[in-house]
Amino acid sequence: MHLFDTDISVSANPQDGFQAAVSDNWSINGNPNGGYLLAVLASAMTRCSDKSATPILTVNYMSKTVPGPAEIAVETMNRSRQFTRLQARIIQSGTETARAFGTFAVAPEECQIRRYETGPPEPAPPERCIRIPAMPKYTVYDQLEVRLDPSCAGWMENRLSERSEHKGWLRFNDRRCFDVFAVALAADAFPPAVLASQGMVAWVPTLELSVSIRNIAETQWLKCRFTTRFINCGLLEEDGEIWDESNELIAVSRQIAQFRNFSA
């Protein structure tokens, strides 16, 4: 079993809830990565869903989740012929720290309409991109290989861009395949796109993350593009696209985060 599978696993408890062990293997500055927490919640929800295709996952982060034991409470909100809608909550020491909503659909027999009005990102080949280095407290980069196109990696050397955009590549170090849970992680695995224009003086804690998964990747690498267009009133949005090496759309995402500039 891959490390990621171990770290998102949940087990039933006698009260018909689930128990999980939040891992510190997927942390950003010592805090469990938001995409990793969404994957844990999705792991519990899929245990309760009678459908599994094209899930739409949205999570709100309400307080700090820490590595260690957690209860995952899952509730069915609605079941219909086509969709099952669930919610799941992380509870630690009696406090709810995150709440997710999941919509799971019946697998379609065929995709009747496939229309893309924008194309995939075209980053430089992985070997020419800049790898995010492993750093203390940033353990997610011990597990994932994230490579930024040189055109948007200047902030790592204090060279800023006019655009808040990151594009590049991602894969597991242990070459795990990308399923629903791994795509949830991937949607939050790149550094915030706003760093490209604002540099590392910014703190960007996520308030809400939504991931709409369209396909299951069949390639080892994912290529991604994350863009922020608006920063105002202390908030920003980050829109994401995740594609595979065959230019198949895997997922789209949107993240709402606070923006705090330490130099201001």
pLDDT tens for 237-248 read: 999 999 999 999
Would you state the pLDDT for residue 177? Answer: 96
Q: What is the pLDDT of residue 7?
A: 98
Check whether 161 has a pLDDT greater than 60.
Answer: yes
Kindly indicate the confidence band of residue 5, based on its pLDDT and cuts at 50, 70 and 90. very high
Give 260 or 231, the one with higher predicted confidence: 231
Q: What is the pLDDT of residues 96-127, one digit of tens each?
A: 999 999 999 988 767 777 888 999 999 999 99
Quote the pLDDT of residue 30.
Answer: 92
Structural class in CATH, domain 126-261 = mainly beta
Average pLDDT estimate for 181-191: 98
pLDDT at 33: 97
- pLDDT, one tens digit per residue, over 44-89 is 999 999 988 889 999 999 999 999 999 999 999 999 999 999 999 9
> What mean pLDDT do residues 18-37 have?
96
| Percent of the chain scoring above 90 in pLDDT | 85
Per CATH, domain 3-105 is 2.40.160.210: yes
At residue 263, the pLDDT reads 61
pLDDT of 58 reads 98
pLDDT greater than 60 at residue 26:
yes
pTM confidence score: 0.95
pLDDT digits (tens, 9 = 90+) for 210-239: 999 999 999 999 999 999 999 999 999 999
- pLDDT category of residue 260 using cuts at 50, 70 and 90: confident
Q: Give the DSSP letter string of 155-178.
A: GGGT---SSEEEEEEEEETT----
pLDDT above 90: residue 261: no
Instruction: Look at residue 8 in the predicted model and tell me its pLDDT.
Output: 98
Q: Who has greater pLDDT, 93 or 111? A: 93
**At 14, is the pLDDT very low, low, confident or very high (cuts 50, 70, 90)?**
low
Confidence of residue 202 (pLDDT cuts 50, 70, 90): low
CATH 2.40.160.210-classified regions of the chain: 3-105, 126-261
- Is the pLDDT at 264 greater than 60? The verdict is no
The per-residue pLDDT for 173 is 97
The per-residue pLDDT of the chain, averaged, comes to 94
